[in-house]
Amino acid sequence: MAYEHLKLANEEGILWITINRPDKLNALNGAVIGELDRAFTEAAEDDAVLGVALTGAGDRAFVAGADIAELNTLGPEAAREFALRGQEVFNRIERMTRPVVAAVNGYALGGGCELAMACHMRVASSNAVFGQPEVKLGLIPGFAGSQRLPRLVGKGRALEILLSGRNVPADEAERMGLVNRVVEPVELTGAVVDLLKSILRNGPVAVGHCLEAVNYGLDMAFDDGCLLEATLFALCASGEEMKEGTAAFLEKRKPDFRRN
């Protein structure tokens, strides 16, 4: 089934998912969220997908936020369901065992900032702008922005952003740890590809277990997180990937993980 609001392209194992509503600054509505759910579900089951890059069409916005026209029609029950649905899909993105990088071009506000934060890493163009302006609409974030933002930048900074609704330029977002790096707009695609390729050269099983250890361990007590890490370490030691990696090191050659 074709996508109405997304464009997908697999380039050497990197699946580019582009939200394609440039006339609406790629705003999220129920239909877009549903297509994101399908795209990431299919990506997780596709052996040809080694990593994912997520971006927005055009250079004005990654995702400028939720579709306000749709929000305006929601009553309390529908609003709760809309928030829970978005959280479900964004959690699916975060729990991918293949790396997901957001290529943030322009505005990443409200739901757009929340979507970027659900990705494992964020590379931003120098013209990117982040923010959670929901309080200006008499709302709070609905797609886990109040939960992911303090985990990334700390409680004090997160509360300042959430309560003021102010925009955060790319260079400040980098300093506070909201994005991994900032590049010039013309360099954004290349920087994301380089980052993903640097990850994909490593053992795919190990990369997946690293993602699991961090994603689940952050919500555990420290000792429980360490136990999870030890268990995943043991799983790595039981596979052919570890044998290839250690043998390559001892033989002073590059490992070939893809043959396992």
- Give domain status of residue 1, yes or no: no
138: left (phi over 0), alpha (psi -120 to 50) or beta: left
Q: Which domain holds residue 21?
A: 6-200
Residue 133 sits in the same domain as residue 217: no
Q: What is the 3-state secondary structure (H, E, C) of 11-41?
A: ECCEEEEEECCHHHCCCECHHHHHHHHHHHH
Token pair 């985990």: residue: 151
pLDDT of residue 260: 46
Judge if pTM exceeds 0.75. yes
Domain harbouring 229, CATH code: 1.10.12.10
User: Residue 146 falls within a domain, yes or no?
Assistant: yes
Please give the positions annotated as active site.
114, 134
How much of the chain is in helix, strand and coil states, percent to nearest 5? 55, 15, 30
**Number of folded domains in the chain?**
2
- What's residue 71's pLDDT? 86
**192 occurs within a structural domain:** yes
pLDDT one-digit tens code per residue, 170-229: 999 999 999 999 999 999 999 999 999 999 999 999 999 999 999 999 999 999 999 999
Where is the domain boundary, 200, 217, 246?
Answer: 200
Q: What is the pLDDT of residues 126-146, one digit of tens each?
A: 999 999 999 999 999 999 999
CA dist., res. 208 & res. 49, Å (int): 13
The string of pLDDT tens digits covering residues 66-106 is 888 888 899 999 999 999 999 999 999 999 999 999 999 99
pLDDT for 67 equals 85
What are the residues facing 10 on neighbouring strands?
A: 15
